Amino acid sequence: MSQLQARKLSSGTPLVGRLRQTATNADALVAQILEGILSGEIKSGDFLGSERDISEGFEVSRNTAREALRSLAALGAVEVKVGVKGGATIAAGDVEAIGEALAVQYCLSDVPTDEVLEIQSVLEGLAAERAAEHATPQDIERLEGLLEEAEELVGDSTAFSNSSLVFHAAIADASHSQALVMQLRSLRYVIWPPNSTKAQPKVAKRVLETHRALLEFIKNKDAAGAQEFMRDHIEHIRNVQRKNVKNKRSEDATYC
Amino acid sequence: MSQLQARKLSSGTPLVGRLRQTATNADALVAQILEGILSGEIKSGDFLGSERDISEGFEVSRNTAREALRSLAALGAVEVKVGVKGGATIAAGDVEAIGEALAVQYCLSDVPTDEVLEIQSVLEGLAAERAAEHATPQDIERLEGLLEEAEELVGDSTAFSNSSLVFHAAIADASHSQALVMQLRSLRYVIWPPNSTKAQPKVAKRVLETHRALLEFIKNKDAAGAQEFMRDHIEHIRNVQRKNVKNKRSEDATYC
DNA sequence: GAATCGATATAAATATAACAAATTTATTCA
DNA sequence: TGAATAAATTTGTTATATTTATATCGATTC
C-alpha cells in the first residue's frame, strides 16, 4: 500500500469504518488516516501525495486538506516536503517528538508531581535494571564521561541540572529499550520544567555521589541492586518534593 | 493572564525566547503558545481570541492562524468554538486524548511489543498496588460489575476482549492516580490494537478466573499481593506473546 | 410572567483564486 | 563533463466570498 485510497466524505457516501463521528471534514480526514496507521494499513514511508492530490482525492478544498495535514504533522504522523516530488509522507516514528505533547497535557491537567514521580520511580528503576543487564562498553564509557563532566559543573547549578538530566536519559538509553526511552522522555518535562529552580552546590555534590554509586551497580551488572538504588534515588527526590510542597516553597529543588 | 500577548513574527522583530527555529509562521505561532503553556505563562481556560483576533494580533493571515490553531487542537492544547463568544481557548488537559497520539508514535516506531509489555507489567503492577490501597466501594462495585458482564461474554471473543480492556482500565481508575491512567492509556492501543485477534473461549475462561483472583487481592487491600499477581498476569501474557512471535503466528492471542 | 419562535450578529468551516518561495529536474552553454 | 540557468512542481501565504453553527436579544404567544 503506497497510495492512500480516497473515500468520499460527503453525506451521501457513508464512511466505511466510521469509528469516529467527526464534526468537520478535516477531522474526518485526520481520523481516517490515523485509523489506517493504527490498523497497520498505512505504514511509515507511505506517500500520501501532494496537497492537491489529497484535496482532489477526498473532494475537499486544498485548504481543508492542508488543515488535516497540519493536524497530522502536529502529531508527528506525517512529514511534508515542498518543491517538486514534495508532498506528505507518513513519518517515521520519532521517540523525541511525542514528549512535548505529553508534557503539555500534564501541564494542563494539573497532574500532581507526586504521582509522576511515583511512575518515574518504577520506570527509572526498570531502566537501571535493564541497563545493568544490557549496557555496552560504549554506554558505560558515555555514562562515565557524563559524570566527569558533571564534576566540573557542581558550581553552576543550571548546567549541573541539565547534565543530571542527560545522565538519567543516558541510563534509559543504556537499557536499550526504545519503549522505556520514549516513556521516560514523555515524563521529563514534567519533572524538570525548563524554568525550574536548580540544585545548590551542596546538594549537587550529594547527587553526584549518588550517580557514581548507581554507575557502579551498572558496571558490576548488579541488576537488582541498580534497580533498588535507582528507586531509592527517585523516592528520595519524591520525599523532598513532598516536603517542599507541604512547606509551600517551590524553590530549593533537589531534582536529579 | 487572560489574553495572549501578540508578538510580531516577521523577520524584523526577533522572537523573545526563540527556542525553536521554525520554518513557517504557523509553526512559530504554535511554538510560542506551547512555550507559554510549558512555562506556566498560559493556563487552562485562558482565551486566545477569535481567529481574526489572532491573525491580526500576530500579523498573519486568518488562514495561517487557523492552521496554527488546528495544530494546537491536534495536540489537545486548545479548544475551538464557533459562533458568538466562540474562538480558541486553552483546553483543560484531556487524559484520554493523548493516548492516541502516543499510540501512533508506537505504531510508526516499530517498538517491540515485548518492550511495551515489560513496561505494562510494572505500571499495571503499580496500578493494582495503589488500587488495593485506595479503591473506594464504588470502584469495587464497578470492577465486580465488569466481571459479571464479562462472564456473559466468554463466547463472544471480541466483546470479551473489549470487556477485559475495560477491566484493566478500571483498575487504573481505582488507583486514583491520574498519571497512571494517562500513562497506561497511552500504551493501550499498542497491546490491544483495534483489529487484533481475540482470545478463544477456553482462554477467556482462564483470563476471567485470573481477573477474579486479582479483584480479591484488591478487596482484601493486599497491595503487595495485588501488585505481584498483576505482574505475573502481564508477564504470562508477555510469555505467550513471545512464543507466538517465535512461531511466527500472530493469531491465537491471549491478551487480557 | 414565562416560554417559544425568529431575527440578527458573530465566528468558524469551506471553497476558490492568486502569488511567493522553495526545491527538484531538465536544459543550455562553456 | 560540469556548472549555471530555466522550467516545472509543490508548499507557504494572503485574500475574499459563501455557508453553517451558535448566542443574544426582542417580539409574540400562552
- Pick the residue of A109, A180, A227 with the most B CBs within 10 A to test the interface with B by mutation: A109
Alpha helix (H) residue ranges in A13-156:
25-38, 51-57, 62-74, 97-109, 113-134, 137-152
How close is the nearest chain A Cα to the Cα of B101, in Å?
6
Q: Which superfamily does CATH assign the domain made up of B97-246 to?
A: GntR ligand-binding domain-like (1.20.120.530)
CA distances to A60, A122, B67, B73 from A63, rounded to whole Å, are: 8, 46, 9, 17
SS3 assignment for chain B: CCECCCCCCCCCCCCCCCCCCCCCHHHHHHHHHHHHHHCCCCCCCCEEECHHHHHHHCCCCHHHHHHHHHHHHHCCCEEEECCCCCEEEECCCCCCHHHHHHHHHHHHHCCCHHHHHHHHHHHHHHHHHHHHHHCCHHHHHHHHHHHHHHHHCCCCHHHHHHHHHHHHHHHHHHCCCHHHHHHHHHHHHHHCCCCCCCCCHHHHHHHHHHHHHHHHHHHCCCHHHHHHHHHHHHHHHHHHHHHHHHCCCCCCCCCC
pLDDT for residue B47 is more than 90: yes
What pLDDT is stored for residue A197 in this prediction? 56
Cβ-based contacts of B195 with chain A (< 8 Å):
39-40
Tracing cell 501532494 back to the chain, one arrives at A50
What pLDDT is stored for residue A199 in this prediction? 63
| pLDDT tier for residue B15 given thresholds of 50, 70 and 90 | very low
* Overall average pLDDT of the B214-226 stretch: 97
| pLDDT tier for residue B144 given thresholds of 50, 70 and 90 | very high
Answer for A250: CB within 7 Å of strand C.
no
* Overall average pLDDT of the B203-231 stretch: 95
Largest CA distance in chain B: 70
Question: Identical fold at A25-90 and A97-246?
Answer: no
Q: Can you give the distance from the CA of residue B115 to the C1' of nucleotide C17 in angstroms?
A: 51
What pLDDT is stored for residue B167 in this prediction? 95
How close is the nearest chain B Cα to the Cα of A207, in Å?
25
What pLDDT is stored for residue B40 in this prediction? 84
pTM: 0.81
pLDDT for residue B16 is more than 50: no
B170 compared with B6, residue with greater pLDDT: B170
* Overall average pLDDT of the B202-219 stretch: 93
What pLDDT is stored for residue B98 in this prediction? 75
Q: Are A81 and B96 in contact (CB under 8 A)?
A: no
Give the bases of strand D that a protein CB approaches within 7 Å: 7-16, 20-24
What pLDDT is stored for residue B190 in this prediction? 65
- Burial (CB < 10 A; 0-12, 13-18, 19+), residue A247, is exposed
Answer for A250: CB within 7 Å of strand D.
no
For chain B positions 31-90, those within 8 Å of chain A (CB to CB) are 34, 37-40, 44, 63, 66-67, 70-77, 90
Amino acid at B75: L
- A vs B, Cβ pairs < 8 A, gives 190
Structural domain spans, chain A? 25-90, 97-246
Q: Which of A105-119, B125-139, B167-181 is the least confident region?
A: A105-119
CA distances to A97, A168, A204, B28, B162 from A162, rounded to whole Å, are: 19, 10, 12, 25, 43
Answer for A30: CB within 7 Å of strand C.
no
B199 compared with A14, residue with greater pLDDT: B199
Share of chain B above pLDDT 90, in %: 55
Q: Are A219 and A128 in contact (CB under 8 A)?
A: no
Which is nearest to B44 in space by CA: A60, A248, A110, A152? A110
Residues of chain A short of pLDDT 70, as ranges, are 1-22, 189-199, 248-256
Strand pairing category for A87-90 and A47-49: antiparallel
SS3 A35: helix
- Asked whether the beta carbons of residue B126 and residue A122 sit closer than 8 angstroms, the reply is yes
Residue B3, beta-bridge partner list: B47
What pLDDT is stored for residue A192 in this prediction? 63
CA–CA separation, A226 vs A125, rounded Å?
7
| pLDDT tier for residue B244 given thresholds of 50, 70 and 90 | confident
* Overall average pLDDT of the B8-34 stretch: 61
How many CA atoms within 13 Å lie on the side-chain side of B10? 5
B76 to chain A: nearest residue by CA? Answer: A105
Looking at CATH, the fold of the domain delimited by B25-90 is given as Arc Repressor Mutant, subunit A (1.10.10)
For chain A positions 196-255, those within 8 Å of chain B (CB to CB) are none
First-to-final CA distance of chain A? 46
- Asked whether the beta carbons of residue B104 and residue A34 sit closer than 8 angstroms, the reply is yes
